Amino acid sequence: MKNKVLFVVCLVYSMSLSAETLKTDNSNRYLKNYNCNNNGNASFNAVNKSSKYWTKILFKIYDADGDPVDNFEWYIRVGPNNGEKLWRGGCNKLKNVRYTATGM
């Protein structure tokens, strides 16, 4: 029984280590518990601590010289002072690159 409990505790701890928070240009809007799987699908909690609806995130991707080379958007709908569990595709574009995220 002790081994099962220890296994579950280690599993939960390792899951929390792999999740991260993605910040946007607005400190009141961010993606918490963000995970991008091998298929390029992301799961996250979109947190909106502002007083207005959050409707999309614009990602701009930059190369090593700081030049913009790509961009994409995720359309979301998160109410004021609220959070939503969401899933979106295309997160593999954000792996190992420099980017900015604008929450609109």
Q: Which residues, including other chains, have CB under 8 Å from residue 26's CB and lie 6 or more apart? A: 50, 103
Q: Is residue 4 part of a domain?
A: no
Q: What pLDDT sits at residue 3?
A: 52
Q: What is the reported pLDDT for 13?
A: 38
Residue 32 in any domain: the answer is: yes
Is the whole model's pTM more than 0.85, yes or no? no
Residue 76 in domain: yes
Residue 65, domain member (yes or no) = yes
**Domain presence at residue 10:** no
pLDDT score of 1: 58
Domains contained in the chain, number: 1
Q: For position 19, what pLDDT does the model report?
A: 80
| CATH code: domain of residue 62 | 2.60.40
In terms of residue numbers, what domain contains 28? Answer: 19-103
Mean pLDDT, residues 24-31 taken together: 97
| Mean pLDDT of the region 27-47 | 96
Residue 72: inside a domain: yes
Instruction: Report how far residue 98's alpha carbon sits from residue 36's, in angstroms, rounded to the nearest whole number.
Output: 16
- H or E element, residue 6: helix 2-18
Between 30 and 14, the higher pLDDT residue: 30
Give the residue-averaged pLDDT of 56-67: 96
In a domain, 47, yes or no: yes
The type of residue at 14 is: S
Q: Report yes or no: 68 and 56 within 8 Å, Cβ to Cβ.
A: no
